[in-house]
Chain A
Amino acid sequence: MGSTFMGLETARRGLTTQQSALYTTGHNISNANTIGYSRQRVNMEATLGYPGTGLNAPKIPGHLGTGVQAQSVQRIRDQFIDRQYRQETSKLGYWETRSNAVSQMEDILSEPSDFGLNTSLDQFWSSLQLLGTSPDDASTRQVVVQKGIAVAESFNYISKQLTEIQENLKNEILVTTKDMNSILKQIASINEEIQAIEPNGYMPNDLYDARDVLLDELSSYFPVEVSYEKSGGNALAIAEGSMNISIKTDAGLVNIVTGKDFASLTANTGTNTAITDAEGYQPFTSFTVTGSGKVPSDEIKYDDLEANKGQIHSLISSYGYGDTTAQTGFYPEMLKKLDELANAFAKAFNDVHTNGSDLNGNKGQDFFINKTDENISTGITASNIKVHNKFEKDPSLLAASTSDPINGTTGKPEPGNGGNALLLANIKAKPADGLGGATIQTFYQSMIGQMGVVGEQANRLAVNSATIQLTVANNRASVSSVSLDEEMTNMITFQQAYNANARMITVVDETLDKIINGMGRVGL
């Protein structure tokens, strides 16, 4: 026969279990707005019935229930949705960063507008036409020189601004890498805590959540692959264990976190020289993965990075990679084209200019020069193109005339001859050397067009992946996030269950009162 007080014990178990469920509800409500929080549930189970099995077990009719106990507290989470979420986050990270890089470039080039490089070239062209009509007019000549300076300065400005954004991209690569290393370290230390808690039979739900938030963040930088390692000891079957993380590359998985051990990444240029924040173009070549403990050291080359995934890949492909001279990457390619354009333009202009003769009948001299050395007009790029100072001081040096230049006794000045000015004006619309058959105008147009197409694609895919990510995030929230209505309902359920258990105690108390105080007092 069971104990006299068995009913009290059963009700007490009910009280404490319902109370823990009520407290968990409170925890859920408190964390309704916590990022990455998954709602928790108390898994209740009936305690073993009475009597237990055994030779000495009393024989009673039936197997009496003994109440309830909280078996575990579990977070509600779907790992498949998490996986999907991280994949989409990687894509979103890539395209968002890409779209940002393109849009900054668009801001600098500001086309189509009334103040871009094209307008400056158009105005230069107009001034040359004007020179063609009045080659003997000093003010017209001055206008041409000034418009020429404006063209050179437009090239300088665009080149400088693009280089500055490129520098910012480099800093972003460095900061992101640092941030990533810090995340790896945090995940490893959470792993360590989890490894210490799980063997005691507990579920560290809030640590799991914290770890998953960090992993979400990490997956916006890199595509990652995750596996779990069960803790030993008395760990529950539903415990998640410690997390191992690898970066997915085309050359296979590169392990970066194993349990409490983690790697640290360094971005390299050239042959394993770390990229520094010192000014200057340092194209990316590889990541050095410095392992520790169970994480082996490794290397991730640019070509091995999975295409179109993660912010890091996007930043690197915008900033530039490979050899310094190769100029591969979105910004280096644009700068290279701009340099080609400036060079072809300066060369074509100088060629025609030196063929003409100036107001005094002398042979024309190089108009555009290399900023680094006044006397050379080779190696002109967008960053160093400049109009030679002497033209500003003396615009009569502009070779607007097609007359034969003075050479000994032959050649006489022709101030009214504007033939060469027209030839100079027409350079813009003529196929230029070094532009693969394109004219200055069409080459520039195709540069802008190409940038537009890249930007359009990046914007579209950024919106697409954001939409998909939102859908997946909604799916995840549907499983894991706290619903206040639901918690309120649960609260009432648990509260009433608690009340009912308390009433049960009262009932048992009353029955005991009957036995203890009311029995054997016949006639009293």
Chain B
Amino acid sequence: MRVTQSMLSTNMLRNLSNSYGKMSVLQDQINSGKKITRPSQDPVVATKGIGYRTDLSKVEQYQRNIGEVNNWLDSSDDALDHVGQAVIRLQELVTDAANDSKTSDDRKKIQVEITQMRQQIQDLGNTKVGDKYIFSGTNTLTPLHDENGFAEPSAYPGLTKDVKIEVYDGVELKVNTNGHELFKEIDEMLANIEKSLGDGSEGPVISGYLTEISNIQNSVLEKRADIGARQNRVEMMDNRLASQEIIATKRMSENEDIDYEEAITDMVTQESIHNAALSIGSKIIQATLVDFLR
């Protein structure tokens, strides 16, 4: 085959530009840390990449949701703990007041403390997390109790409803504790006790409240047990999400991240090939017969 200068230079140019092309791809890869920068380089990696990104952003959001769930559960538990302590104190007071040795003056003094306790439990019923009243069901902007007495489900149907937060695809957790019934019951009982202590009722009437008090104690404990059970579930979910996050990140990385060792080695190899091509090129092009003729 007849070979001419123009063929040599065309070929050399073409090879150099190929080599530049390869270097540019490698440089893109090293700079971005990704195997591909456009879908046409590998459509499969690209479409998978979109899916994995969505998966990861989901897991991250669910983790944020878990934070909110814990916020609700911890606050409810804490408030109910205070309620429980108040009920224990109430039991002591009522037992004390039921003694026949107590005078009506003594009972009036106890009545004052009960009044305070009633106030405190009403406040506990209005516990807020951020701007939300956590015991008001889905009517989170309505306090359970205000100067007009208790909010009623007839006006606020959300009071008895569950607040739910999604913690995984299709997994919704109830985060609130319906406080309306409980707090209203306690409040009514406290009102009665207050009244009995004030109107000179005798020991047997007052000790009659003790059964009611222990019932209430049970229901507070029941609610706290329920919260505890849910907290366990959330913790499990949290662990699951943490491992999900690792898996999703790993899958995404395996799909689209480059192996730096490999890419840099390729780059160095490509550079030396390129240098060789350049130096050979200068040798090919310089000499013709012209240089040797006189």
Query: Are B57 and A126 in contact (CB-based, < 8 A)?
Result: yes
The interface residues of chain B lying within 8 Å CB-to-CB of A474 are 7, 10-11
B63 to chain A, nearest CB (A): 11
Q: Mark A335-353, 1 if CB is under 8 A from B, else 0.
A: 0000000000000000000
How big is the B interface, by class?
35 or more
The interface residues of chain A lying within 8 Å CB-to-CB of B43 are 448-453, 455-456
Q: Counting CB contacts under 8 A, is B116 at the interface?
A: no
The interface residues of chain B lying within 8 Å CB-to-CB of A199 are none
Query: Are B166 and A441 in contact (CB-based, < 8 A)?
Result: no
Contact pick for B38, options A412, A450, A455, A484, CB 8 Å? A455
Query: Are B11 and A484 in contact (CB-based, < 8 A)?
Result: no
Q: Counting CB contacts under 8 A, is A225 at the interface?
A: no
Q: How far is the CA of A458 from the CA of B156 in the complex (A)?
A: 64
B21 to chain A, nearest CB (A): 9
Q: Counting CB contacts under 8 A, is B68 at the interface?
A: yes
Q: A417-B138, A452-B43, A482-B6 are in contact. Are A489 and B289 (CB under 8 A)?
A: yes
Contact pick for A488, options B131, B142, B288, CB 8 Å? B288
Q: A129-B65, A482-B4, A488-B290 are in contact. Are A414 and B130 (CB under 8 A)?
A: no
Query: Are A118 and B54 in contact (CB-based, < 8 A)?
Result: yes
The interface residues of chain B lying within 8 Å CB-to-CB of A454 are 40
User: Could you tell me which residues of chain A, from 397 to 411, have a CB within 8 Å of some CB in chain B?
Assistant: 401, 403-404
Stretch of A132-140, A157-165, A227-235, A515-523 at the chain-chain interface: A132-140
Query: Are B46 and A111 in contact (CB-based, < 8 A)?
Result: yes
With contacts defined as CB atoms under 8 Å apart, how many contacts are there between chain A and chain B in the complex?
194
Query: Are B46 and A403 in contact (CB-based, < 8 A)?
Result: no
Query: Are B6 and A477 in contact (CB-based, < 8 A)?
Result: yes
Query: Are A133 and B46 in contact (CB-based, < 8 A)?
Result: no
Q: Counting CB contacts under 8 A, is A84 at the interface?
A: no
Q: How far is the CA of A310 from the CA of B108 in the complex (A)?
A: 104
Query: Are B131 and A416 in contact (CB-based, < 8 A)?
Result: no
Q: How far is the CA of A445 from the CA of B38 in the complex (A)?
A: 14
Q: Counting CB contacts under 8 A, is A21 at the interface?
A: no
The interface residues of chain A lying within 8 Å CB-to-CB of B4 are 477-478, 481-484, 486
Nearest B-chain residue to A39, judged by Cβ: B4
Query: Are A137 and B131 in contact (CB-based, < 8 A)?
Result: yes
Contact pick for B7, options A109, A445, A477, CB 8 Å? A477
Q: A133-B65, A412-B155, A481-B7 are in contact. Are A111 and B172 (CB under 8 A)?
A: no
A100 to chain B, nearest CB (A): 11
Query: Are B293 and A479 in contact (CB-based, < 8 A)?
Result: no
Q: Mark B130-150, 1 if CB is under 8 A from A, else 0.
A: 111000111111100000000
Query: Are B141 and A416 in contact (CB-based, < 8 A)?
Result: yes
Q: How far is the CA of A441 from the CA of B68 in the complex (A)?
A: 27
Q: Counting CB contacts under 8 A, is B64 at the interface?
A: yes
Query: Are A422 and B172 in contact (CB-based, < 8 A)?
Result: yes
Chain A CB within 10 A, most for which of B11, B38, B64: B38
Contact pick for B2, options A126, A132, A478, CB 8 Å? A478
Q: How far is the CA of A291 from the CA of B157 in the complex (A)?
A: 83
Contact pick for A448, options B7, B46, B57, CB 8 Å? B46
Q: How far is the CA of A160 from the CA of B136 in the complex (A)?
A: 48
Not counting A422-B172, A488-B290, a sample of 16 additional A-B residue pairs whose C-beta atoms are within 8 angstroms of each other reads: A119-B57, A125-B57, A129-B64, A136-B132, A413-B139, A414-B157, A416-B137, A445-B50, A445-B51, A452-B41, A452-B43, A456-B43, A470-B10, A481-B7, A483-B3, A484-B5
7 pairs of residues in contact across A and B, judged by CB atoms under 8 Å: A118-B50, A134-B130, A444-B50, A448-B47, A449-B47, A474-B11, A481-B7
